């Protein structure tokens, strides 16, 4: 049987690129890879042909015991090879790392979870008291409509679980009292918006007095990015700062009046860290796609833009709409602003209970400490669909001790994405120990 590294390489090479369109993804390639890895067909469900998700369930010995799922997605975002030092889908091993799109987000976890789960599936380890489930899911990068959302809505009996481990595991954080390990309990909510502007077509050689849809859209985007949302200090953010990782800046970072100044101080030495802090203290708006015009000599009659909006705990849909209204000002009546996908508020799970303690056991076995803290992440995962059903979900993983959180964050959807062999080994051991501890704690009641 291949090990986690070989399986990770195979998943990267499958090139399951999700560009957000229905026709992309091709996640069934990795379904076949995993079926071969497990030597078991499992249960496959797909909403769109070629975009399968794969489920395995090992029944527990006690029907009343809680169930645990290991969930990883198989799709990845596009990669422009011009910005890479290697072929992003060759999965080369260089400098002690596996390089490739999806190495960090999140095929490393999909692979290590499979390796741990396989030992229960093939009978090498006796079953847990409760069911143990493995889910390799499609379309996480496209919003989950053809993956987790589809499964939760239409096949809940197949994927139902009380507890769940998935992304995002993160590097440890150094504090004055030693290392602390982030466990993702909370994620910002996506409320993406699509903007439409209208104009009147005409000859490009006579622009005077014309209603040009591109000009209105350019002005709207400029106003939006020049109108940052106000600071919001959430309880989740306070918990991060209270680890002591920010030293003398800690007091400023929990003050609504001083946090922006603290971000500028951080940016002088670590812009990646500053970017992360900004995202965890503000609702963010990022215009990422703009389409307009049909030909260079035709004044465009329509333009559209996609804006990635992420909200913090406590934000609602009205907060997003109000910000667009204020930022666009008199342009608001000329720019149509509509949801680009389903809206989700920030979602979270409590930092207590059976799985939280089992993760502590796993950390103790691998890292020699139970010191961990609840982490909020700027992105979103498929956890949100399960949390709506009452599942307790955490993002879990381990990385080499020298990896800076800001360097780690830069690899998500970035160039030269890679994960170290050491990180793969640490994560596999953490997952193994945590699943075993979950079983012991379940048996103890």
pLDDT score, position 2? 61
pLDDT score, position 405? 83
pLDDT score, position 182? 95
Asked whether the CA dihedral 114, 115, 116, 117 is positive or negative, the reply is positive
Tens place of pLDDT per residue across the chain (445 aa): 469 999 999 999 999 999 989 999 999 999 999 999 999 999 999 999 999 999 999 999 999 999 999 999 999 999 999 999 999 999 999 999 999 999 999 999 999 999 999 999 999 999 999 999 999 999 999 999 999 999 999 999 999 999 999 998 899 998 888 999 999 999 999 999 999 999 999 999 999 999 999 999 999 999 999 999 999 999 999 999 999 989 999 999 999 999 999 999 999 999 989 999 999 999 999 999 999 999 999 999 999 999 999 999 999 999 999 999 999 999 999 999 999 989 999 999 999 999 999 999 999 999 999 999 999 999 999 999 999 999 999 999 999 999 988 888 888 999 999 999 999 999 999 999 999 999 999 998 7
Q: Which fold has domain 189-339?
A: Alpha-Beta Plaits (3.30.70)
Q: What is the pTM of this model?
A: 0.92
pLDDT score, position 306? 97
Range(s) within the chain of domains with CATH label 3.30.70.360: 189-339
Domain covering 4-174+347-444 in this structure, CATH number: 3.40.630.10
Range(s) within the chain of domains with CATH label 3.40.630.10: 4-174+347-444
pLDDT score, position 409? 84
Residue carrying the six token digits 């796609």: 289
Name the nearest CA neighbour of 147 among 289, 65, 30: 30
pLDDT score, position 217? 96
3-state secondary structure the chain: CCCHHHHHHHHHHCCCECCCCCCCCCCHHHHHHHHHHHCCCCEEECCCCCCCEEEEEECCCCCCCCCEEEEEECCECCCCHHHCCCCCCCCCEECCEEECCCHHHHHHHHHHHHHHHHHHHCCCCCCCCCCEEEEEECCCCCCCCCCHHHHHHHCHHHHCCCEEEECCCCCCEEECCEEEEEEEEEECEECCEEEEEECCCEECCCCCCCCCHHHHHHHHHHHHHCCCCCECCCHHHHHHHCCCCCHHHHHHHCCCCCHHHHHHHHHCCCHHHHHHHHHHHECEEEEEEEEECCCCCEECCEEEEEEEEEECCCCCHHHHHHHHHHHHHHHCCCEEEEECCCCCCCEECCCCCHHHHHHHHHHHHHHCCCCEEEEEECCCCCHHHHHCCCCEEEECCCCCCCCCHHHHHHCCCCCCCEEEHHHHHHHHHHHHHHHHHHHHHHHHC
pLDDT score, position 177? 87
pLDDT score, position 165? 99
pLDDT score, position 1? 45
């Amino acid at each position: 049987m291949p090990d986690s590294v070989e399986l990770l390489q195979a998943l990267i090479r499958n090139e399951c690129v999700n560009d957000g369109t229905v026709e992309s993804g091709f996640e069934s390639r990795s379904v076949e890879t995993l079926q071969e890895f497990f030597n078991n067909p499992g249960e496959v469900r797909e909403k769109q042909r070629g975009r399968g998700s794969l489920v395995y369930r090992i029944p527990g010995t006690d029907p009343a015991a809680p169930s645990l799922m290991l969930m990883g997605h198989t799709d990845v975002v596009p990669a422009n090879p011009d910005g890479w030092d290697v072929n992003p889908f060759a999965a080369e091993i260089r400098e002690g790392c596996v390089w490739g799109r999806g190495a960090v987000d999140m095929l490393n976890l999909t692979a290590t979870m499979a390796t741990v789960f396989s030992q229960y599936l093939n009978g090498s380890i006796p079953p847990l008291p409760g069911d143990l489930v493995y889910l390799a899911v499609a379309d996480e990068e496209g919003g989950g409509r053809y993956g987790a959302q589809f499964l939760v809505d239409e096949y809940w009996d197949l994927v139902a679980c009380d507890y769940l481990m998935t992304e995002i595991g993160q590097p440890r954080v150094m504090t004055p009292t030693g290392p602390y390990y982030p466990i993702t309990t909370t994620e910002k909510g996506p409320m993406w918006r699509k903007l439409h502007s209208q104009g009147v077509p005409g000859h490009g050689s006579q622009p005077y007095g014309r209603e040009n849809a591109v000009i209105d859209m350019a002005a709207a985007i400029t106003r939006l990015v020049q109108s940052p949302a106000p600071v919001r200090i959430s309880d989740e953010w306070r918990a991060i700062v209270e680890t002591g990782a920010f030293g003398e800046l800690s007091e400023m970072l929990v003050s609504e009046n001083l946090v922006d100044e603290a971000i500028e101080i951080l940016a002088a030495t670590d812009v990646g860290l500053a970017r992360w802090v900004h995202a965890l203290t503000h609702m963010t708006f990022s215009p990422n796609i703009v389409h307009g015009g049909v030909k260079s000599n035709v004044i465009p009659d329509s333009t559209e833009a996609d804006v990635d909006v992420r909200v913090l705990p406590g934000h609602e849909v009205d907060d997003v709409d109000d910000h667009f209204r204020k930022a666009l000002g008199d342009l608001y009546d000329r720019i149509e602003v509509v949801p680009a996908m389903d809206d989700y508020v920030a979602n979270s799970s409590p930092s207590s209970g059976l799985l939280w303690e089992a993760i502590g056991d796993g950390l103790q076995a691998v890292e020699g400490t139970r010191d961990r803290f609840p982490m909020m992440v700027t992105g979103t995962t498929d956890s949100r669909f399960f949390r709506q059903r009452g599942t307790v979900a955490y993002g879990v993983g381990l990385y080499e001790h020298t990896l800076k959180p800001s360097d780690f964050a830069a690899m998500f959807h970035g160039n030269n994405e890679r994960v170290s062999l050491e990180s793969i080994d640490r994560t596999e051991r953490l997952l193994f120990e945590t699943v075993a501890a979950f079983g012991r704690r379940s048996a103890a009641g």
